[in-house]
Structures are given as C-alpha cells and as structure tokens.
C-alpha cells in the first residue's frame, strides 16, 4: 500500500530525484550512485556559506537613514535577494545590527545593551555619515556621539547622507564577503579588547 517515494517522483520528473546544488556552494558534490552523494569541502566553508546567506538584521533606524533602509527592502531594490529579509526588531534573534541614523548620548547605552544582547557571531553595519562620525552634527553639537564605533565595534561603514539603497546593498555584500573568509578556530569576540573610543 502507499506510493513509493521514488516512483512517485519519477512520474513528475522522468530523471528521478534531481539533486540541486546551488551555484555558490563552497565544495564539490560527487554523485555516488544509488541517489546518494559525496560532498567534499571544509566545515569552515560550509558554515560561513550558510551564515553569510542568511543574515538576520536588527533594524536600528533612528533617523533619516532608516527611510533609505526601508527603501532597500522595498520592491525595487529588494534585499531579500541576498538573504536579508528576515528583519528582527529583537536583538536576541538577530545576527547583524544596521545602525541607520544618529546616535546621541542618551541612546548610546541602549545601543550597547542591544549589541550585548545579540548572540554570537554578531556583526555591525554603520549606515550613513552620522553613524560613522557624527556627520552633519560633528561640529557644535553637545549631544551627538561622534560615531557609533565609540560604543560598539563596527564591521562595515557605508558613507552618505543618507546612502543610496544601492550603497547599503553594496555594504551588505561586503559583509557577506568578510564572513566568507572567517576561520572558526581563530574567531574572537569583537568586543574583546575594544577600546570604546579611548
């Protein structure tokens, strides 16, 4: 009784169960007969490949850059093509924090707390002039933190006021490239030895 899985698949696909290997899979897949396969790769490569293609960002949009960040998720630019679409408002489920906007003195402890709540591995993108250096509020402002890297370590800086959505995509792809070169055994927590802008 019941339908054999393979014979059922043969009905819809004459060649039987096709093994689809993604183009960017970091390794070699050798067909081993009997439907099984042999995969030759390293753990580092596979883990980094998986991590870089499913980064869940925490949107930390404080001001104008947040609008361009929303625009990046919208139909024309659509960052779900690169695996960024699972937006988490909660730090505990996020891999990546996108700082889009100015960080002021009152906000700084909150940002640090959110960063500390994130599970490792964690990455930071500073989007826009304000998050990089204070931007237009660098001079004469008594309340603006002159760059998010005074509070948490930043992986990718994206200049612009605000940056175009293409610039944000470029920054995200750069972060993916960075993750792909990581070594699991040598990885350290970026907050270790972070000087907090001394």
Partner 1 sequence: MVEKEIENKMKTEEYFVNMGPQHPAAHGVLRLLLTIDGEIIKNVDPDLGYIHRSIEKMCERDSYQQIVHLTDRMDYLSSHINNEAVCLAVEKGLDIEVSDRVKVIRTIVSELTRLASHQLWWGVIGMDLGALTTYFYAFRDREYINDIFEETCGARLTMNYNIPGGLMFDIHPNFVNRVKEFLVHFKTKLPEYDRLLTGNVIFQKRTKGVGVLTKEDAISYGATGPVGRGSGFACDVRKTHPYSAYDRVEFKEALFTEGDSLARYKVRIMEMWESMSIIDQLIDNIPEGDIKTPTKAVIKLPKGEFYQRVEAARGELGVYINSTGTKNPYRVKFRSSGFSNLSVLNHITKGAKIADLVATMASFDFVIPDIDR
Contacting residues toward partner 1, per CB under 8 A: 59-64, 66-68, 70-71, 74-76, 89, 91, 101-102, 104, 106-107, 110, 114, 136-137, 139-144, 161-162, 164
Q: Which is nearer to partner 1, 106 or 186 (CB)?
A: 106
Min separation Cβ 49 and partner 1, Å: 29
Q: Which is nearer to partner 1, 128 or 179 (CB)?
A: 128
Provide the token pair at 6.
């393979």
Half-sphere exposure of 178 (CA within 13 A, CB side): 17
Min separation Cβ 125 and partner 1, Å: 16
Contacts of 151 (CB under 8 A, 6+ apart): 103, 108, 111, 112, 115, 145, 196, 197
Q: Which is nearer to partner 1, 48 or 95 (CB)?
A: 95
Min separation Cβ 84 and partner 1, Å: 15
Q: Which is nearer to partner 1, 131 or 179 (CB)?
A: 131
Looking at the DSSP bridge assignments, the partners of residue 40 are 28
Min separation Cβ 69 and partner 1, Å: 11
φ/ψ bin of 21: left (φ > 0), alpha (ψ from -120 to 50), beta (otherwise): beta
Is residue 123 a contact partner of residue 148, using CB atoms and an 8 Å limit?
no
């Amino acid at each position: 009784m019941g339908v054999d899985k393979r014979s059922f698949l043969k009905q819809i696909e004459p060649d039987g169960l096709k093994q689809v290997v993604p183009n960017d899979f970091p390794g070699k897949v050798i067909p081993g007969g009997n439907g099984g396969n042999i995969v030759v790769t390293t753990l580092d490569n596979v883990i980094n490949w998986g991590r870089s293609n499913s980064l869940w960002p925490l949107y930390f949009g404080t001001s104008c850059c947040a609008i361009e960040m929303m625009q990046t998720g919208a139909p024309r630019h659509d960052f779900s093509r690169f695996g960024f679409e699972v937006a988490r408002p909660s730090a505990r489920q996020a891999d990546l924090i996108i700082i889009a906007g100015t960080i002021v003195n009152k906000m700084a402890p909150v940002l640090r707390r959110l960063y500390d709540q994130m599970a490792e591995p964690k990455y930071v993108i500073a989007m826009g002039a304000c998050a990089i250096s204070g931007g237009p509020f660098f001079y004469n402002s008594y309340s603006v933190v002159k760059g998010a890297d005074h509070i948490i370590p930043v992986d990718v800086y994206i200049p612009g006021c605000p940056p175009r959505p293409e610039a944000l995509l470029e920054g995200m792809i750069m972060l993916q490239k960075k993750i792909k070169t990581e070594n699991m055994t040598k990885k350290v927590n970026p907050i270790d030895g972070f000087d907090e802008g001394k």
